[in-house]
Structure 1
């Protein structure tokens, strides 16, 4: 009788926790600093040297912007950093904070001080200040201000796809789904290979239970992120998103496959460990589920699902 009660309690806990999946936002890749660099005429700057230097240690990363003026650095430990871009004796810098599960996005203007009119200098300085204010609003969770500020930045830098991507995420946080969808689509229009914007679009559709559209957007994000799920490649976040979408659509085995693929792409993707554990509980594979919940708690002891993971571990027989 006690075994039946324990099994019932475990399934009840799992059911309660799985309901959260409808509303939980999937985590982003850990330790990412990315952004774009434009010149005084709002044109992308290719080949600029980007230095991401820790404020707390001697650690630094260096890379160059691509032909679209963009840069993307993974594997950045959490902490405070100064990002500096340089080219042709021009330099610009911004401070940022790298956080696990929250990519830092920056837009920098690389423009000469000499050779510009006082009016142009004022415009460049005002735009840089606006970018800093917009970024600060995002970090503070002030989404209304972030939307307003990034809308102004986008007016000054019409090619800023990341501006619209960030607007979309703030609109999503406010549950303004129509506005979020429009912003993500604008980001994709400006940058057709913007995997993050496709992920955002997938989240919008998932939140509205438009699972077919969500699956299409997430699959595109995975395609842009790498070799794709079938090859075990692609962005761990994109694969994770596909798992969430499949689960919400009632496709438990398919969801499990996506969570496993996400962990193959990034073994330290904590939310994927948790959701794989839930899928394994659903399939009655409790010993395997225990290992996933333990892995989650090791990676994210105070994470979003920590309390649920501990409760379920307490109900799984050893």
Structure 2
């Protein structure tokens, strides 16, 4: 005989079934969404010479979901990460001071996955600097100290920087600049010459690193101006411009150095060189006019100052230039 269940019992059974199905479905969806499971990967991280890289971050990312897992390499460069579901995963090995390396692989849960070997290349020189935020901040701090005239403090910062990145010889330009501003000319000269030596050692030619070579040669030129050795200064300035003969800024900067040391005729030559390279640049006309004014050549001073105003009438210096022109015109009368 078939017995009928009571309505309350039926309702309770249906309710429990619904709960069970809902929970089961939810767990199934969650597992699918997270793509977690029993999958395991392992491998080794080494450098270019095959030496183990300790402390490399191993980032494992599902290509099907947003799930991410992490691990670290040990002293022998070995790593292992577990918890992956079946499917495609991207594995990336990275460490500060090295280029990162990644691969994609199909991870299985029921069989052993093949080991992975990552080779990380050590980043050197200026490229290494850009990957190190702390050192970049240190470098910027040193430059700000130079701008503020705090040369001793700047030297400490750059020397600290050099202990970490001795291969970045370009930083010696900043050290040389500090010594130059402090009038410690022998030390400044040593730093600028070291930059040139390292440039040839690394690149084989000054022109392969024109920015650093230009600054070093210009710095040496300024040192010899301070020593009142115009012939040697001229030699270095000439070398500087041979590196960048079409660089109007380089010619202008040399002129500025010469003008600041009251070598007016030499300054005029380099201002005119800057204008010859780039005729539509107003700045050299302004300084060329002032240089002629210092020389007492009022006619040429007016020609260049007027040209400057014609080219850049709304510049911040325009009111002062107008006043100078008016004063010179009165003197000429």
What is the TM-score of this pair, normalised by structure 2?
Answer: 0.48
Partner of residue 129, structure 1? 134
Partner of residue 236, structure 1? 249
2:193 counterpart (178, 185, 196): 185
Cα offset, 1:293, TM superposition: 5.2
The yes-or-no answer on 1:111 pairing with 2:98 is yes
What is the TM-score of this pair, normalised by structure 1?
Answer: 0.50
Q: Distance in 2 between matches of 1:267 and 1:259?
A: 11
Residues 127, 153 of structure 1: 8 Å contact kept:
no
| 3-state secondary structure, aligned to 1:159 | coil
Sort the Cα spacing of 1:310 and 1:177 in 2 relative to 1 into closer, same or farther, 3 A. Answer: farther
Taking only aligned residues, the RMSD between alpha carbons, in angstroms, comes to: 4.2
The yes-or-no answer on 1:263 pairing with 2:271 is no
Partner of residue 18, structure 1? none
Matches within 5 A, 1:124-163: 128-140=133-145, 141=148, 142-163=150-171
The alignment covers a number of residue pairs equal to: 202
Q: Distance in 2 between matches of 1:167 and 1:270?
A: 32
Partner of residue 324, structure 2? 312
2:178 counterpart (151, 165, 170): 170
Sort the Cα spacing of 1:239 and 1:127 in 2 relative to 1 into closer, same or farther, 3 A. Answer: same
Q: Distance in 2 between matches of 1:163 and 1:129?
A: 16
Matches within 5 A, 1:199-210: 199-210=218-229
Q: Which structure exhibits the higher relative contact order, with contacts defined as CA atoms closer than 8 Å and separated by 6 or more residues?
A: 1
| 3-state secondary structure, aligned to 2:298 | coil
Q: Which consecutive unaligned segments of at least 5 residues does structure 1 have?
A: 1-39, 42-88, 93-108, 227-232
Sort the Cα spacing of 1:302 and 1:312 in 2 relative to 1 into closer, same or farther, 3 A. Answer: closer
Per-residue deviation, residues 182-227 of structure 1 (Å, max 9, x unmatched): 211111111142111111222222233322221111111101113x
Look at both structures and tell me which one has the larger radius of gyration over its CA atoms.
2
Q: Which consecutive unaligned segments of at least 5 residues does structure 2 have?
A: 1-46, 49-91, 102-117, 201-205, 207-212
Sort the Cα spacing of 1:291 and 1:213 in 2 relative to 1 into closer, same or farther, 3 A. Answer: same
The yes-or-no answer on 1:283 pairing with 2:291 is no
Cα offset, 1:163, TM superposition: 0.4
